[in-house]
Structure 1
Amino acid sequence: MSQNERIAHSKITRKFRSEGRQLLFTQGKGGEVSDANGMTYIDFVMGYGPVIIGHSDELFNEILSGYLGNGVMMPGYTTFHSEYLERLLGERTGDRGAFFKTASEAVTATLRLAAMRNGRLGVLRSGYIGWHDAQIANSLKWHEPLHSPLREKLRYTDAMRGIGDTEPAVNWVDLRLESLAEILDRYRDRLGCFVFDAYLASFTTPEVLRQAVAMCRDAGLLTVFDETKTGGRISPLGYDHDHAIGSDLVVIGKALANGAPLSLVVGAADLLADAERARLSGTFSKEMIAVYAALATRDILEKPIGDAPDGWAEIGRIGTQVAATLTAAAEDAGVAALVGARPVLGGGMFELVYHDDALLGDKTRREALLAALTGAGILLLEGHPSFVSVAHREIDPDELRGRARRAFEQWSATVEAGRD
């Protein structure tokens, strides 16, 4: 058995292939990564979003190293946890935070808090909210555009616990308030928690989301905004805070600690008062390396970078520029009628967009484009938003445009050859 065959790859990591071979990575530096074959890639995967400053950033490593002399595990929470929450939640004076390692854990905690609050086990969800059973069972391809033919096919229908007639897991798919009202009426008194993936805010408006939260609360549901992709990336606290959506609880994760595993549930003190009774903790919830990394991350992002007032504004500028560069490369290659890119929620993320309905529903051609970009030394996500870091401000836009143009040309030629 080869070294690579010992790894049980997830569906997304399987996509990182070159010339038919699974990629194993050896090093990251700034906005790039290298693989075991010696090839270097511009990295827009960023560990699926947690890396926000850059790989092996010297300043980040220096600050983190300074903290490590305090130890990595104490009997309980520490002054460092308290300091981080004070910096994160300073203007939200009535809020508390509960610490976790992954956002799937954190969302699971909100489901338990909801059940303890209203006695209902059903979940109403919109978007990808984690990989635990009730979060993903009978779910959709949430990152597809609303009109994509690939979006609505139910997935993960086998071997999932905690769902069914008494514990329904229900999808709000089209983001229409009329359909939400129908769901709330149909599942009256069975749904306990509404969880919304903040990425889907790019498909609707703040006013729709404010109304959706109010409707769910009126129906007795605890409302949760899942800012796993967005909190600490598009802004310090994310979309719900910035647009006054008013959710009861917010989950923040991924980009908080530049790659170290940290996620939080944030909400009013009375809502988190059940944390002890609900057993919302694990051995590594109080681990300190991730909190040190989160403090180091804020030390960097809170300060001006270039002409931007802080790191979050600079990241938004970078992502917007990257999307424009990829769109320009598609124009250079003569495929702009088929594909381009767009910034998502201000540019902390971006995604490929398909302008041709036939291509939108053709997974084979779309994955061929991903392979062509990989072959040109560009790693990004297809059917999912991609991510930028502060380190990407050092990218040469002309080099990125040239690599992407070659990838688009190679992809177009391959697709046309396959039609002959």
Structure 2
Amino acid sequence: MESKKNSGATLWEKAKKIIPGGNQLLSKRAEMFLPQQWPAYYKKAQGCEIWDLDDKHYLDFSIMGIGSCSLGYAHPTVTEAVVEAVQMGSMSSLNCFEEVELAEKLIEIHNWAGGVRFTRTGGESCALAIRIARSYSGKNKVAFCGYHGWHDWYLATNLADGDKLKEQLLPGLSPSGVPQQLIDTALPFHEGDLKGFDELLSEHGDDLGVVMMEVFRHGMPDLDFIKAVKARCEQHGIVLIFDEISSGFRLNAGAAHLLFDVHPDICVLGKAMGNGHPIGAIIGKSEVMDAAQQSFISSTYWTERVGFVAALNTLAVFEQEQVSEQLNKTGRHLKTNMAKICHDLQFELQLIGVDSVPILVFPGEQALALKTLYTQEMLKRGVLAANVIYVSMGHTLAHCETFLNAFEEVIGVLKQAQDKGDVLDLLDGPVCHSGFQRLN
């Protein structure tokens, strides 16, 4: 008989009592997947395989380190280089030479740019990009479209109207702790809504110095919209920032905007650039980036060696093995077969997103319960699953076939539960969270 031991779930309950919020990343909370049942912690990760605290083995067809491991977990080329760098000393009183090499490599890829600064994480990369852009423009207000982190400049959006980030990020995000003086300094607009953007320009144009936008999130870029925003930024002397922390390295090696010959003033990269090792980059035109010297921008661990070494080797693998093409090919295989399974079983699951990041949209008023049941039943079959799949090089054809076999079984369970109206009765615990909620 299969053991019901779940040390990860037990440890998660302990963690919530001593770590406010349970952990350091909302997207990895157990409640976002399967409350009271999610294994929560891992011992080992390799390729797309994970072993939990009880040595149970899973295939990861979910968030793959929140999209940070496109080469797969513990990729040998990157890992060997990182281990060697650590053994040689990852920190000293002198600078590591690899940061200059990485800066040169990124400018080679982004030949429109002339300067690079580095950080460790995506959120602080966006905050630094905003600081540099404000320094250059001399203006305070920022218009944005998409998800750009947790810092004050971004959450200030919710000071004015309480929940303006609902459609950009998550519902219910309180700006508690964000100074009230930042009210009306961060102004949201929506992808494709050029009229709404023009209204922002009309109302705030004299004080608007920065526009930050994701190139894409749930589908291919809206090029006409991006080009129109860029033209308006040029006309009004506004610094345009492309946040490619998530979109970079999904369609190509570098950033999606390079495919379409639409260049910003600043581009922000992170996540997949280090294949699981902390590194972020702010790339920009020389005259804009030089404004960094007018502001105090400095941090000890931005000089640590591992991120630079990891990024250089990750970039090399991307180029040598045509990784982005492989990711999209695998993703198309998954989406095509998932769609066929749902069609054959008459289950109305919508599949959106670029090929390398399939997103599952569950139907109807019970969408969240269906998502929870899907995750629960896939977990029973040895698959970590959610409403998004970050495809990686670790996902072999054999892994995909194992996933699709489990997927077909589980969609059958969901369809039957939906027809009988007993979705909630089949859940072994509570429905998953849809956004930010206090945990205790």
Q: TM-score, normalised by structure 1?
A: 0.85
The correspondence for 1:352, drawn from 337, 351, 360, is 360
Determine the structure 2 residue equivalent to 1:320.
332
Q: Secondary structure at the match of 1:225?
A: strand
**1:37/1:406 CA distance change after superposition, 3 Å:** farther
For structure 1, which segment, 182-191 or 9-18, has the greater mean C-alpha deviation from structure 2 after superposition?
9-18
- Say if 2:133 is the partner of 1:114: yes
Q: Tell me which of 282, 301, 315 is aligned to 2:299.
A: 282
Deviation at 1:60, TM superposition (A): 3.0
Give the match's secondary structure for 1:202. coil
1:16-415 matched pairs, under 5 angstroms: 16-17=33-34, 20-21=37-38, 23-43=40-60, 44-91=62-109, 92=111, 94-136=113-155, 137-138=157-158, 139-142=164-167, 155-162=172-179, 167-200=184-217, 202=219, 205-304=222-321, 310-335=322-347, 338-344=348-354, 347-354=355-362, 356=363, 358-359=364-365, 362-382=367-387, 385-415=388-418
Between 17-26 and 287-296, report the one with greater CA deviation. Answer: 17-26
Asked if the contact 2:265–2:284 (Cα under 8 Å) also holds between the matched residues in 1, the reply is yes
In structure 2, C-alpha distance between the alignment counterparts of 1:288 and 1:165, rounded to whole Å = 35
Structure 1 equivalent of residue 428 of structure 2: none
- d(CA) in 2 for partners of 1:182, 1:234: 32
State the Cα deviation string for residues 54-96 of structure 1 (Å, max 9, x = none): 1123333223333334321233543211112222321517521
Conserved 8 A contact 1:232-1:256:
yes
TM-aligned CA deviation for residue 239 of structure 1: 1.5
TM-score (norm 2): 0.82
Preserved contact between residue 328 and residue 356 of structure 2 (Cα < 8 Å) = yes
The match for 2:434 is none
Instruction: Map Cα deviations across residues 91-137 of structure 1 (whole Å, 9 max, x no partner).
Output: 51752110000111111112112221222222211111111122234
What are structure 1's unaligned runs of at least 5 residues?
144-150, 305-309
Deviation at 1:394, TM superposition (A): 4.6
> Could you tell me how far 1:228 is from its partner in structure 2?
0.5
What is the number of equivalent residue pairs in this alignment? 398
C-alpha spacing 1:273/1:282, structure 2 compared with 1 (3 Å): same
Residues 168 and 330 (structure 1), Cα distance of their counterparts in 2 relative to 1, 3 Å cut: same
The letter for the 2-side match of 1:372 is E
Q: CA deviation at 1:412?
A: 2.8
Q: Bigger shift: 204-213 or 285-294?
A: 204-213
CA contact (8 A) 1:323 1:343 kept: no
RMSD: 2.8
Cα distance in 1 for partners of 2:53, 2:416 equals 29
CA distance in structure 1 between the aligned counterparts of 2:116 and 2:79, rounded to whole angstroms: 26
Aligned 8 A contact 2:118 2:282 in 1: yes
Between 226-235 and 316-325, report the one with greater CA deviation: 316-325
Distance 1:188 1:301, change over 3 A: closer
- Opposite residue 48 of structure 1, the aligned amino acid is I
Q: Secondary structure at the match of 1:281?
A: coil
Matched with 1:12 is 27
Give the AA of the match of 1:284: Y
In structure 2, list runs of 5 or more residues that go unmatched: 1-8, 159-163, 426-440
> Which whole-Å CA distance do the structure 2 matches of 1:289 and 1:373 have between them?
35
Counterparts in 2 of 1:312 and 1:390: CA distance versus 1, 3 Å: same
Q: Which runs of 4+ in 1 moved over 4 A?
A: 162-167
